[in-house]
């Protein structure tokens, strides 16, 4: 091997060693730092969301509940946006350190542009929809919502666990975690806003005394309004609204009231149980 070849090999080796000691270390540190920053942002956002839930979601003030749900959603969206910025800066820094020729950068840019051309339209639509959801306070973390229709799945109902600029995550009552792109959330029903309707229907056989049955139901409703366990859940004490239906073999009585958000199911279950026990006692005594 000639002297020039040996010199070129040593020079190339020195350059590789210099690159490994310099730019390679910086690239590894950049990637590691970006990863740690994203994890730190996720941790901070999660701590903030949990603190909002602990402080606000247990409050009995409806305004505080709404603000807490919105703040938790805003924290999730902020984390997503900051992570995107961190990754973009890290990728740019790595490309600069690689010292790629302009032709390679043009090729990479062309490939990235082609990929973004196919996927960016839907992503931009999801992000814009997410901005509207958060800015308009349509729902927040902890709210009970019904969204859809989602293709063959139809309507999905559950509690909002996370809201980002791109997706919304719902935990259904069956325990499934459903992630939905914000761009397809054309319609949503928020069942946690302001108040919830309490509705209970009671069938009464035609051979029973309707007036006496209604009186017993009214007594049960009044007792629930005075119960220390259920009184804080109620905004309007349930009362008998009247006969909802008259069939050949029964009457149907409707009870209506208002409760605090997402408390209506607990109130309705207890109301049905109390009415059933009260009617059973009443008609066993007179039987």
Give residue 111's pLDDT: 61
Give residue 104's pLDDT: 56
E strands within the chain?
144-150, 154-163, 167-172, 177-181, 187-190, 196-205, 234-246, 250-259
Give residue 101's pLDDT: 63
Domains present along the chain, CATH in parentheses: 1-192 (2.30.30.520), 196-286 (3.30.70.100)
In angstroms, what CA-CA distances link 260 with 25, 38, 195, 230?
57, 38, 5, 11
Token couple for 83: 């992570």
Q: For residue 9, give the DSSP letter.
A: H
Q: Residue 61: helix, strand or coil by DSSP?
A: coil
**Residue 165 to residue 219: CA distance in whole angstroms:** 50
Q: Is 113 exposed, middle or buried (0-12, 13-18, 19+ CB in 10 A)?
A: exposed
Model confidence pTM above 0.75:
no
**Residues 180 and 162: beta-carbon distance below 8 Å:** no
Q: What is the mean pLDDT of each run of 10 residues along the chain (287 residues)?
A: 54 62 76 83 71 53 52 67 78 73 60 59 76 79 82 82 83 87 84 83 86 90 91 90 82 90 87 91 67
Give the strand pairing for 196-205 and 187-190. Answer: unpaired
**Residue 42 to residue 82: CA distance in whole angstroms:** 10
Give residue 62's pLDDT: 47
**Residue 234 to residue 241: CA distance in whole angstroms:** 17
Give residue 52's pLDDT: 58
């Amino acid at each position: 091997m000639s002297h020039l070849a040996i010199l070129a090999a040593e020079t190339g080796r020195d350059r590789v060693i210099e690159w490994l000691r310099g730019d390679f270390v910086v690239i590894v540190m950049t990637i590691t730092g970006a990863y740690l920053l994203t994890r730190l942002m996720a941790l901070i956002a999660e701590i903030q969301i949990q603190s909002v839930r602990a402080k606000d979601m247990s409050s009995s003030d409806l305004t505080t509940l709404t603000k807490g749900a919105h703040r938790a959603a805003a924290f999730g969206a902020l984390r997503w946006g900051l992570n995107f910025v961190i990754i973009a800066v890290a990728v740019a820094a790595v490309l600069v350190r690689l010292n790629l020729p302009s032709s390679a950068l043009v090729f990479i840019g062309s490939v990235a542009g082609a990929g973004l051309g196919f996927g960016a339209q839907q992503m931009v639509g999801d992000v814009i929809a997410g901005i509207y959801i958060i800015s308009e306070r349509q729902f927040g973390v902890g709210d009970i919502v019904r969204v859809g229709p989602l293709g063959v799945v139809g309507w999905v109902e559950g509690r909002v666990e996370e809201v980002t600029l791109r997706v919304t995550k719902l935990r259904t009552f069956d325990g499934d975690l459903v992630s939905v792109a914000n761009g397809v959330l054309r319609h949503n029903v928020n069942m946690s806003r302001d108040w919830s309707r309490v509705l209970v229907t009671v069938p009464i056989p035609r051979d029973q005394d309707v007036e006496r049955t209604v009186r017993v139901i009214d007594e049960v409703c009044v007792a629930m309004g005075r119960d220390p366990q259920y009184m804080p859940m109620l905004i309007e004490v349930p009362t008998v609204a009247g006969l909802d239906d008259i069939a050949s073999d029964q009457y149907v009585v409707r009870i209506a009231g208002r409760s605090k958000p997402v408390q209506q199911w607990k109130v309705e279950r207890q109301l049905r149980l109390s009415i059933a026990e009260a009617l059973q006692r009443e008609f066993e005594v007179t039987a």
